[in-house]
Amino acid sequence: MEITKICCIGAGYVGGPTMAVIAQKCPHIQVTVVDLNEQRIKDWNDPNTDNIPIYEPGLAEIVAEARGRNLFFSTEVEKAIDEAQIIFISVNTPTKTYGKGKGMAADLKYIELCARQIAKVAKQNKIVVEKSTLPVRTAEAIKSILDNTGNGVQFQILSNPEFLAEGTAVTDLLNPDRILIGGDTTHEGETAINALVNVYANWVNRDKILTTNVWSSELSKLTANAFLAQRISSINAMSELCEKTGADVNEVAKAIGMDSRIGPKFLKASVGFGGSCFQKDILNLVYIAKTYGLNEVADYWEQVIIMNDHQKRRFSNKIVQTLYNTVADKKITFLGWAFKKDTNDTRESAAIYVADDLINEQAKISVYDPKVSRNKMLSDLDYLGTRTSDENINSLTIFEDAYDACKGSHAIAVLTEWDEFTTYDWQKIYESMHKPAFVFDGRNILDAKKLESIGFVYKGIGS
């Protein structure tokens, strides 16, 4: 089957960049990304590609090249579904906030809605691809909806999880470690798998394209994220021990990372991991394990989240304790709000929780982040529901300039590892602050010795 038309439902952090790269690399395929959110589509169509809704290095250039040629952003969901041979589902699957599995299971209402819409509209056979991370056996649920409510057309469901990391989405998409495609082992299933393999083979070496059954593919995505998050919680656990024993977690990470069996990546101790995937996927894994009565398995993985929550709280506690056990009315400046550098995404960012803790202690928080908007920061805090919007507005001041944000503050907390923070004139910042001036480096990116020689009291993670 020669694929000439693809549609992607969901123009978010996964759907947008992934489809932009497919369109760039496959000029013979028309790629249409649809979303219910009109503003989001309007932003993707902004003539100035610097204004597209997702910031990722290199993405604006790719959108500029492909948009209008074979890449389209639209709110006409049904038209795009009708025309496409392959439909990617890239909608959000947040953790459930109600009912059975509340706080753990993935909320599949958006996925189900997509499946029902596809079933309603499709008049020809289609390949439906799960791109969003989903609990194991979701494909089965999608298939059941499609087969029982559709117009008698044949659907093949594939699982093709996306492994891109935000901030490096474009390079990850252009040079993936692997592409994973799970599908039915029937003849029709294999034909569908091949059709998708051929799309990726336009730029990815076939050796790197793995095909499996659907369940293995779905579970591999959850497992990969759980292992990555586990490494961070493991090194963060060690960071607390380092602080008590006089060891330095950076030195420990380097020493163990040189063991080729362990490897050097993902060993940076931090204020705690954030992002839309790690916590959600582990909770999902825990929920699935519990559903099958595998309580030890569930408890094992849940500990990764418990450790991460502890690390965030430990960071805010340390700020309060160090500032003589009170931060009431003290100005504390956050450098960074995004959950990692090079993204404007703030989902589950440690900054939100640390800010919440410190505001509970009546601190006044100033924030500078090069890519996150004021409204986003305030809505992140509002979403927690700890206090009213007006109270949040009174407690959080957002600056466009880092030096202005730091002026007159008692302490600086580095929440995101933006490169620019390391290039600042720290002498100038020191002079503008209350003394003693504290720096809490939640990312261990600043030069401790240099800051101490200026006069700062420097506190990193795990040293």
Stretch touching ligand ADP by CB under 6 A, among 88-96, 136-144, 173-181, 265-273: 88-96
- Reference 132, options 115, 150, 119; nearest CA is 115
| Residue 31 interacts with ligand UDX (CB under 6 A): yes or no | no
117 burial type by CB count under 10 A (0-12 exposed, 13-18 middle, 19+ buried): middle
- The one catalytic residue in 7, 8, 277, 406 is 277
Q: Catalytic residue at 162?
A: yes
Q: Catalytic residue at 406?
A: no
Stretch touching ligand ADP by CB under 6 A, among 107-115, 145-153, 358-366, 433-441: 107-115
* Contacts (CB under 6 A) with ligand ADP, residues 249-308: 276
Task: Name the residue nearer to ligand ADP (CB basis): 91 or 222.
Answer: 91
| Residue 20 interacts with ligand ADP (CB under 6 A): yes or no | no
Q: For 421, which DSSP code?
A: G
- The one catalytic residue in 96, 131, 221, 268 is 221
Main-chain dihedrals φ then ψ at residue 50, nearest 5 degrees: -70, -15
| Residue 161 interacts with ligand ADP (CB under 6 A): yes or no | no
| Residue 110 interacts with ligand ADP (CB under 6 A): yes or no | yes
**CA-CA distances (angstroms) from residue 85 to 194, 196, 393, 401?**
13, 11, 48, 48
Count of alpha carbons within 13 angstroms of residue 83, beta-carbon side = 16
What whole-number distance in Å separates Cα of residue 272 and Cα of residue 281? Answer: 16
CB atoms within 10 A of CB 460: 23
> Cα–chain-centroid distance for residue 241?
28
What whole-number distance in Å separates Cα of residue 8 and Cα of residue 31? Answer: 8
The entry of ligand UDX, ligand ADP, none that residue 189 binds, CB within 5 to 8 Å by partner kind = none
What whole-number distance in Å separates Cα of residue 49 and Cα of residue 69? Answer: 15
Q: Please write down the long-range contacts of 371-377, taking CB distance under 8 Å and 24 or more positions apart.
A: 371/55, 371/338, 371/343, 371/344, 372/337, 372/338, 372/344, 372/346, 373/344, 374/398, 376/337, 376/344, 376/346, 377/337, 377/346
Cβ atoms of 373 and 332 within 8 Å: the answer is no
- Reference 374, options 347, 344, 349, 353; nearest CA is 344
Task: Name the residue nearer to ligand ADP (CB basis): 108 or 235.
Answer: 108
Min dist CB 351 to ligand UDX, Å, is: 10
Cβ atoms of 349 and 60 within 8 Å: the answer is no
The entry of ligand ADP, ligand UDX, none that residue 228 binds, CB within 5 to 8 Å by partner kind = ligand UDX
Find out whether the peptide bond into 161 is cis, omega within 30 degrees of 0. no
Stretch touching ligand ADP by CB under 6 A, among 90-98, 202-210, 286-294, 360-368: 90-98
| Residue 228 interacts with ligand UDX (CB under 6 A): yes or no | yes
| Residue 163 interacts with ligand UDX (CB under 6 A): yes or no | yes
Q: Write the binding mask 41 to 80 for ligand UDX: x where contact by CB under 6 A, - elsewhere.
A: ----------------------------------------
Q: For 258, which DSSP code?
A: T
Residue 457's DSSP bridge partners are: 438
Nearest to ligand UDX by Cβ — which residue?
A: 275
Q: Starting at the edge strand that comes first in sequence, how are the strands of the sheet with 396-398 ordered?
A: 396-398, 364-368, 331-335, 411-414, 438-441, 457-460
Task: Name the residue nearer to ligand UDX (CB basis): 278 or 337.
Answer: 278
| Residue 17 interacts with ligand ADP (CB under 6 A): yes or no | no
Task: Name the residue nearer to ligand UDX (CB basis): 182 or 275.
Answer: 275
Give the number of residues in contact with ligand ADP, rule: CB under 6 A.
Answer: 21
Residues in the chain: 463
Min dist CB 320 to ligand UDX, Å, is: 22
Which one among 21, 66, 114, 351 touches ligand ADP, defined by CB under 6 A?
114
| Residue 12 interacts with ligand ADP (CB under 6 A): yes or no | yes
Which one among 15, 16, 275, 462 touches ligand UDX, defined by CB under 6 A?
275
| Residue 416 interacts with ligand ADP (CB under 6 A): yes or no | no
Tokens 């989405």: give the residue. Answer: 169
DSSP states of 192-257: HHHHHHHHHTTTS-GGGEEEE-HHHHHHHHHHHHHHHHHHHHHHHHHHHHHHHHT--HHHHHHHHH
Min dist CB 12 to ligand ADP, Å, is: 2
Task: Name the residue nearer to ligand ADP (CB basis): 64 or 113.
Answer: 113
Q: Catalytic residue at 221?
A: yes
Which one among 29, 66, 86, 91 touches ligand ADP, defined by CB under 6 A?
91
* Contacts (CB under 6 A) with ligand UDX, residues 325-364: 339-340
Task: Name the residue nearer to ligand UDX (CB basis): 183 or 275.
Answer: 275
User: What is the contact surface with ligand UDX in residues (CB under 6 A)?
Assistant: 162-166, 225, 228, 232, 266-268, 270, 273-275, 277-278, 339-340
Residues annotated catalytic, as ranges: 162, 221, 277
Positions that interact with ligand ADP (CB under 6 A): 9-15, 34-37, 40, 77, 90-92, 110, 113-114, 132, 276
